[in-house]
Amino acid sequence: MGNNKYKNKLSISKEAQQYIQITSPLDDSVIGEVPALSQKEVDRAVQLAKVTFRIWKDVPLNERAEILYKAANILLEHMDTLTNLLMREVGKDRKSANSEISRTADFIRFTADTAKSIHGESIQGDTFSGFNKEKFAVVTREPVGVILAISPFNYPINLATSKIAPALIGGNTVIFKPATTGSLCGIELGKIFKDAGLPEGVLNIITGRGSEIGDYVVTHPDINFINFTGSTEVGVKISEKAHMVPLLMELGGKDAAIVLKDADLVFAAKNIIAGAFSYSGQRCTAVKRILVVNEVADLLISHLKEEISKLQVGNPLEKQVDIVPLINTKAADYVWNLIEDAKAKGAQLIYGGKREGNLVYPTLFDYVTTDMRVAWEEPFGPVLPILRVNNVDEAVNLANQSEYGLQSSVFTENLSDAFHVANRLEVGTVQVNNKTERGPDHFPFLGVKKSGIGTQGIRYSIEAMTRVKATVINLKH
Ligand code: NAP
Ligand code: G3H
């Protein structure tokens, strides 16, 4: 792996006629190129994965685990080069890039450990009325086959691995389609698994624009499972096209931070600002709206202003920053339009509202109302709306009116109130007194409504990508 220019050609794509140039969101410079695979090449990769599955599924679990442990070690050995690549390819700041890599190594090791602790079970027939001990079931877990793993741009190493590692340990083979911006990282990840001893054909990377090869691969008859993380828009399209194929999907969100009148406001403000703005808000779990009760709104806002003013803005190659240029101009335009819409409809700009190219400054709006787009849409960028509410019920109602249901936070010193709110929120996870976030990675992670299908998290992902098999013994006497 080199530091400056990344030119990658996949072994399966020697005949690729076309390449896609990958440019850095930091300065638009070309940092590498990846093949734009044809349907024929995608098909070849899927056929290889299908054939290899018959061998890989029978490799003993402890041998599969050894490969994963090695991959985790190799990943850490490449910390510096991968950090630089993450920074240049997806514009991540150094601290976040480092943490993505070390978190991924932890994820891989924990996946191997967890798989070893997932045991089958035996069930005796006489636990059901009318049956006796002469009938019992031996229940084991089987891989499902060829997994299609499609990952987004914002965690090109970690969110790819969160699909690949549980799939592999479960005995599946994988077709991995990285986000195009992020595919240089994806290719390096593939090399790491290869260097760790993963046999050829077990992990197969297909590069190319989702808009071009996406439909072909998601409807390919030899794909047995689709594990997708990305936008709700693309997730819905995939779910409409995939027939009789199980889906695991982590999609968009509009996570609310609900602040009650007895909350520790200094603590809440620190958490909310960190949760909303790290990596410029380009996280599915970023705090994307504040619902605060009127009694404490002014005080909370004064603390929010103090915290937001501490954020560092700029080019992560020059200094440690929180706010980086957004991934592309389309993304920056989208966020900017939300800001303009809020301003035009009378929201009060508390902070920010400035843009230089694709660098959108951290922006905070008060008095956001439900007719404004920013009240409902996912910006995937650094703009945070505050909606004032009269009471807890109004906060819960507004939170639940969203089409999304990934996570919510509730800030309060009263645990009963926290549970009262949490029980009524239509989301996968409620964080009591914390920002919304995915980790730790062995916790269940899921979205309801348009935020997803199924549950990720290390054990949950392994279980999702394996199926139960029962062999029923009937004793004769
Ligand atoms: P995206 O545009 O939906 O792309 C995600 C992946 O889907 C990319 O690999 C993309 O490839 C591919 N793709 C695009 N069109 C496709 C098609 N027709 N068929 C199959 N694959 C297709 O999302 P993104 O911009 O990378 O990520 C941002 C979004 O992801 C946000 O909405 C965010 O909330 C969501 N997200 C959710 C989670 C979660 O866990 N809930 C985590 C991270 C991100 P190309 O890059 O080649 O287009
Ligand atoms: O972007 C979506 C990720 O799943 C968020 O993960 O909460 O660890 O940043 P995170």
Task: Quick: pLDDT tens for 242-269.
Answer: 989 999 999 999 999 999 999 999 999 9
The pLDDT score that the predictor gives to residue 16 is 55
For the cut 70, the answer to whether the pLDDT of residue 10 exceeds it is no
Contacts (Cβ under 8 Å, ≥6 apart) of 59: 171
State the Cα angle at 435 between 433 and 436, rounded to 5°: 115
Instruction: Please give the number of the atom of ligand 1 that sits closest to the Cα of 235.
Output: 3
Instruction: Please give the number of the atom of ligand 2 that sits closest to the Cα of 250.
Output: 4
Phi-psi region of 280 (alpha: psi -120 to 50; beta: other; left: phi over 0): left
Mutate to test the pocket of ligand 2, among 155, 228, 436, 441 (most ligand atoms within 8 A of CB): 155
C-beta 288 within 6 A of ligand 1: no
Residue 15: pLDDT band (50, 70, 90) is low
Quote the ligand 2 centre to 82 CA distance (angstroms). 19
For the cut 70, the answer to whether the pLDDT of residue 14 exceeds it is no
Query: What's the average model confidence in pLDDT over 342-360?
Result: 98
From the CA of 185, the nearest ligand is 1
What is the per-residue pLDDT across 287-299, written as a single tens digit (0 to 9) for each? Answer: 999 999 999 999 9
| Cα–Cα distance measured from residue 145 to residue 50, given in angstroms and rounded to the nearest whole number | 7
Mutate to test the pocket of ligand 2, among 285, 327, 407, 442 (most ligand atoms within 8 A of CB): 285
Quote the ligand 2 centre to 270 CA distance (angstroms). 18
Contacts (Cβ under 8 Å, ≥6 apart) of 24: 31, 88, 89, 91
Please give the residue that has the higher pLDDT: either 11 or 423. 423
Which amino acids are annotated catalytic?
250, 284
For the cut 70, the answer to whether the pLDDT of residue 4 exceeds it is no
Residue 341 φ/ψ, nearest 5 degrees: -65, -45
CB atoms closer than 10 angstroms to residue 472: 11
Amino acid 136 reads: F
What is the per-residue pLDDT across 427-470, written as a single tens digit (0 to 9) for each? Answer: 999 999 999 999 999 999 999 999 999 999 999 999 999 999 99
C-beta 380 within 6 A of ligand 1: yes
Residue 5: pLDDT band (50, 70, 90) is very low
Helix (H) or strand (E) holding 159: helix 158-169
Instruction: Please give the number of the atom of ligand 1 that sits closest to the Cα of 253.
Output: 34
C-beta 176 within 6 A of ligand 1: no
Lookup result for tokens 């730790």: 440
Is 374 in contact with 341 (CB distance < 8 Å)? Answer: yes
For the cut 90, the answer to whether the pLDDT of residue 410 exceeds it is yes
Tokens of residue 301, six digits:
């806002």
Quote the ligand 1 centre to 207 CA distance (angstroms). 14
For the cut 50, the answer to whether the pLDDT of residue 6 exceeds it is no
Instruction: Please give the number of the atom of ligand 1 that sits closest to the Cα of 452.
Output: 41
Mean pLDDT, all residues of the chain: 96
The pLDDT score that the predictor gives to residue 119 is 83
Beta strands 429-432 and 30-35 are: unpaired
Quote the ligand 2 centre to 306 CA distance (angstroms). 25
User: Quick one: how many helices (H) and strands (E) in the chain?
Assistant: 14, 25
C-beta 238 within 6 A of ligand 1: yes
From the CA of 279, the nearest ligand is 2
The pLDDT score that the predictor gives to residue 477 is 76
Q: What domains are defined for the chain? A: 4-251+452-471 (3.40.605.10), 256-446 (3.40.309.10)
What is the per-residue pLDDT across 91-110, written as a single tens digit (0 to 9) for each? Answer: 999 999 999 999 999 999 99
C-beta 234 within 6 A of ligand 1: yes
Query: What's the average model confidence in pLDDT over 130-139?
Result: 95
- Residue of minimum CA distance from atom 31 in ligand 1: 231
Helix (H) or strand (E) holding 276: helix 265-277
Mutate to test the pocket of ligand 1, among 150, 162, 249, 402 (most ligand atoms within 8 A of CB): 150
The pLDDT score that the predictor gives to residue 7 is 40
What is the per-residue pLDDT across 182-201, written as a single tens digit (0 to 9) for each? Answer: 999 999 999 999 999 999 99
Contacts (Cβ under 8 Å, ≥6 apart) of 175: 42, 45, 46, 49, 146, 147, 148, 149, 204, 206, 217, 223
- Residue of minimum CA distance from atom 22 in ligand 1: 210
Query: What's the average model confidence in pLDDT over 139-157?
Result: 98
The pLDDT score that the predictor gives to residue 8 is 39
Quote the ligand 1 centre to 452 CA distance (angstroms). 12
Quote the ligand 1 centre to 230 CA distance (angstroms). 3
From the CA of 278, the nearest ligand is 2
Residue 304 φ/ψ, nearest 5 degrees: -60, -40
Instruction: Please give the number of the atom of ligand 1 that sits closest to the Cα of 230.
Output: 30
Is 57 strand, coil or helix? coil
C-beta 285 within 6 A of ligand 2: yes
Quote the ligand 1 centre to 152 CA distance (angstroms). 4
C-beta 188 within 6 A of ligand 2: no
| Cα–Cα distance measured from residue 184 to residue 304, given in angstroms and rounded to the nearest whole number | 37
pTM of the model: 0.96
For the cut 70, the answer to whether the pLDDT of residue 396 exceeds it is yes
The pLDDT score that the predictor gives to residue 134 is 94
